């Protein structure tokens, strides 16, 4: 099992990262909340990881904060939720906000996250209400780009998070402002999509 990676950040193309650890390049998927807070390409990074093995694939998921890894793992235990949806949740709302939505049973807000329909949101509330505590999660410690315009990069990242191409393009176009990099466009687009 791989629980942590420490190395140089070689590339970040949401949701993918490439981390060089002693000459070995690890491909890691990460939520936008982690990607927003990463250092520049070429700098050292330490990621907490979740290593997942399925019948025909193996994947590594990386997080800067233990609270995100804890929530990622908790979401995996909910029937019908996989890694892609778990990453979308962490990319769309903060750990504290997610815990608040679950505790208050706010199904409508949960369904704004890509990949979560009404039935899945109801299952999340029922199955995680007793396991997701904003205070406990918040107390957990924190431990090169593809060619194209920042708006193109944002559209690609939004599609990776589950938005349809037309919706991703609309969100990115509406969010983009003069001088914004891809991360700023993605952050604003996700806030707009979630009505915050």
Please give the pLDDT value at position 92.
84
Please give the pLDDT value at position 145.
35
Claim to verify: residue 51 and residue 78 sit in the same structural domain: no
Claim to verify: residue 73 and residue 124 sit in the same structural domain: yes
- Give this prediction's pTM: 0.69
* Distance set, CA 163 to CA 52, 85, 94, 114 (Å): 24, 11, 19, 6
Claim to verify: residue 90 and residue 130 sit in the same structural domain: yes
Residue 114: count of CB within 10 angstroms of its CB: 24
CA atoms within 13 A on the CB side of 108: 1
CATH number at residue 183: 1.10.8.10
Claim to verify: residue 97 and residue 128 sit in the same structural domain: yes
Claim to verify: residue 80 and residue 128 sit in the same structural domain: yes
Into how many domains does the chain fold? 3
Look at residues 138, 158, 174 and tell me which one is the last residue of a structural domain: 138
CA 133 vs. chain centroid, Å, equals 19
CATH number at residue 106: 1.10.150.20
Please give the pLDDT value at position 196.
59
CA nearest neighbour of 63 among 97, 40, 96, 86: 86
Q: Is residue 123 part of a domain?
A: yes
Question: Alpha helix (H) ranges present in the chain?
Answer: 32-36, 66-76, 83-92, 95-104, 107-110, 118-128, 134-138, 150-160, 165-175, 182-193
- Provide the token pair at 132: 């997701």
**Over its length of 196 residues, how does the chain's per-residue pLDDT go in tens digits?**
788 999 999 999 989 999 999 999 999 999 998 999 999 999 999 999 999 988 888 999 999 999 899 899 999 889 889 999 999 899 888 888 888 889 889 999 999 887 789 999 999 999 888 776 544 444 444 443 334 678 888 887 887 787 877 788 888 889 988 888 888 899 899 888 887 5
Cα 73 from Cα 76, distance rounded (Å): 5
Claim to verify: residue 47 and residue 110 sit in the same structural domain: no
- Provide the token pair at 115: 């990949």
Q: Is residue 22 part of a domain?
A: yes
Q: Is residue 145 part of a domain?
A: no
Claim to verify: residue 74 and residue 108 sit in the same structural domain: yes
Claim to verify: residue 94 and residue 122 sit in the same structural domain: yes
Find the domain containing 162 and state its range.
150-193
Q: Is residue 172 part of a domain?
A: yes
DSSP 47-73: EEEEEEE-SS-EEEEEESBHHHHHHHH
Look at residues 63, 82, 98 and tell me which one is the last residue of a structural domain: 63
Neighbouring residues of 131: CB distance < 8 A, sequence distance ≥ 6: 74
Residue whose tokens read 């330490």: 46
């Amino acid at each position: 099992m791989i629980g942590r990676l420490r190395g140089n950040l070689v590339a970040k193309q949401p949701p993918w990262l490439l981390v060089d650890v002693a000459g070995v390049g690890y491909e890691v998927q990460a939520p936008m909340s982690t990607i927003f807070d990463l250092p520049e390409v070429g700098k050292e990074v330490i990621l907490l990881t979740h290593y997942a093995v399925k019948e025909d694939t193996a994947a590594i998921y990386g997080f800067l904060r233990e609270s995100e890894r804890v929530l990622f793992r908790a979401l995996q235990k909910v029937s019908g939720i996989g890694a892609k949806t778990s990453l979308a949740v962490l990319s769309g709302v903060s750990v504290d906000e997610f815990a608040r939505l679950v505790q208050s049973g706010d199904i409508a807000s949960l369904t704004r996250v890509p990949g979560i329909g009404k039935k899945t949101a109801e299952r999340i509330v029922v199955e995680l209400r007793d396991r997701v505590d904003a205070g406990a999660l918040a107390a957990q410690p924190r431990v090169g780009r593809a060619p194209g315009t920042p708006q193109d990069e944002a559209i690609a990242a939004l599609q990776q998070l589950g938005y349809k191409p037309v919706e991703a393009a609309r969100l990115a176009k509406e969010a983009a402002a003069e001088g914004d990099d891809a991360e700023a466009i993605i952050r604003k687009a996700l806030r707009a999509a979630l009505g915050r």
